[in-house]
Structure 1
Amino acid sequence: MSDEHLIEHRVSQEELLHGHFLHAFRDTVRLPNKGLATREYVVHPGAVMVIPMLQMPDGQMRLVLERQYRYPVGQVMIEFPAGKLDAGEDPWLCAQRELMEETGYRAREWAKAGVLHPVIAYSTEVIEIWFARDLSLGERQLDSEEFLDVFTATPQELMGWCQQGLVTDGKTLTGALWLQNVLSGAWPLTWQSAT
């Protein structure tokens, strides 16, 4: 089945911003009905998010989460560990790096869950979702401009915060959906050892 009746084609492009992190454009596009429209969007390097599952001595599983102030929305958010890809970086290696740098944890086993497009209306950003287990704690290596709290919670606590509107970060909500389905057995994962 062809999607040609839905596709927009670029006619011209204007660069609006070329910052350290984001690159913004304004394109004129030809619509499927041959009319013209304007599309403004941000080119993003891509990112990863990690759902770290910590097995406690009593057999209970807890999740490693973060609290971080997010300037654009002006509030502290509850999130799964995440970070942007460096140019040419392998997403799995980025996931391992971000988990260690932000939380101090290293994982012996990893499973790629899927991908997420968090803001399809105005950004090219793609986030790979990774699960991590068999965790061991070491030293965090935060960037000099990074300030965050690391804490653990049960899956039930996280789901409750999502339901209560205390977790509103889109990637973390998507991670909670994945977690719920993985724990129920509905969405199986293929685990692999860390490199």
Structure 2
Amino acid sequence: MYENLTEKMIESKQVYDGNLLKVYCDKVELPNGATSTRDYIKHNGAVAIVPIFPDGTVLMERQFRYPFHRVVLEIPAGKIDPGETPLEACVRELREETGVVAKEIIPMGELYPSVAYTDEVIYLYIAKDFTFGENDLDDNEFLELERIPLETLVEMVMNNEIGDAKTQTAILKAYNIENRK
């Protein structure tokens, strides 16, 4: 299916191996038989969680994002460690960043944040019925937590006050799921 659109890898070369990602430059055969190169990033994947309190507020994070040189409002999220399932990463990241231990975790599906140049998949979740313990931030991680009503977050997404794609998608999906009940 879609043979007229499919490219075939001829050769693959890793050009960068970092802590977070790996960069490749592949030579491919195009559907018309010509060849081209494709530069792309391999990523272990990530999780992103919308922790919703019984009163409808969501636990959000503010943290400085170096590539944008500014503080960004986001939902809790993080990368999947090697050998870890997305659900295990969800539980770990939520506890590490916020101290939250959730009794109910609802999967919302997958997000492909930038299909043109990375194979990263972000698994989206809602967390509910939680307790707070101690967080366990990485030594290079600094963030502030804030509770914001889900409806307000939807307005912020629609008014371009939240620019992070995973946060936009997860907030809108969570709002839709919560309002179907």
TM-score scaled by length of structure 2: 0.96
* Distance in 2 between residues matched to 1:127 and 1:78, nearest whole Å: 17
Counting only pairs closer than 5 Å after superposition, residues 106-121 of structure 1 correspond to structure 2 as: 106-121=101-116
Please name the residue that 2:5 is paired with.
6
Please name the residue that 1:193 is paired with.
none
Unaligned runs of 5+ residues in structure 1 are 189-195
Counting only pairs closer than 5 Å after superposition, residues 88-127 of structure 1 correspond to structure 2 as: 88-127=83-122
Please name the residue that 1:150 is paired with.
145
* Distance in 2 between residues matched to 1:148 and 1:130, nearest whole Å: 20
User: What is the SS of the residue equivalent to 2:161?
Assistant: coil
Does residue 120 of structure 2 align to residue 133 of structure 1?
no
Q: After superposition, give the CA deviation of every residue in 1:136-192 in whole Å (9 maximum; x if it has no partner).
A: 11111101000011111001110121122110101001102211210221xx8xxxx
The number of aligned residues is: 181
Instruction: Identify the match of residue 160 of structure 1 among 155, 158, 181.
Output: 155
Please name the residue that 1:169 is paired with.
164
Unaligned runs of 5+ residues in structure 2 are none
Please name the residue that 1:192 is paired with.
none
* Distance in 1 between residues matched to 2:132 and 2:138, nearest whole Å: 18
Residue 92 of structure 1, CA deviation: 0.8
Letter of the 1:132 partner, please give it.
A
Please name the residue that 2:44 is paired with.
45
* Distance in 1 between residues matched to 2:119 and 2:175, nearest whole Å: 27
* Distance in 2 between residues matched to 1:95 and 1:50, nearest whole Å: 7
* Distance in 1 between residues matched to 2:99 and 2:125, nearest whole Å: 17
User: In 1, are the aligned partners of 2:51 and 2:128 still within 8 Å (CA)?
Assistant: yes
Aligned-residue sequence identity (percent) comes to 37
CA RMSD of aligned residues (A): 1.1
User: In 1, are the aligned partners of 2:99 and 2:136 still within 8 Å (CA)?
Assistant: yes
After superposing on structure 2, the runs of 4+ consecutive aligned residues of structure 1 that deviate more than 2 Å are none
User: In 1, are the aligned partners of 2:151 and 2:175 still within 8 Å (CA)?
Assistant: no
* Distance in 2 between residues matched to 1:14 and 1:183, nearest whole Å: 45
Please name the residue that 1:17 is paired with.
16
Please name the residue that 1:73 is paired with.
68
Residue 85 of structure 1, CA deviation: 0.6
TM-score scaled by length of structure 1: 0.90
* Distance in 1 between residues matched to 2:20 and 2:29, nearest whole Å: 29
* Distance in 1 between residues matched to 2:142 and 2:45, nearest whole Å: 21
User: What is the SS of the residue equivalent to 2:96?
Assistant: helix
User: What is the SS of the residue equivalent to 1:54?
Assistant: coil
Q: After superposition, give the CA deviation of every residue in 1:75-117 in whole Å (9 maximum; x if it has no partner).
A: 1111110010110101111101111110111111111110011
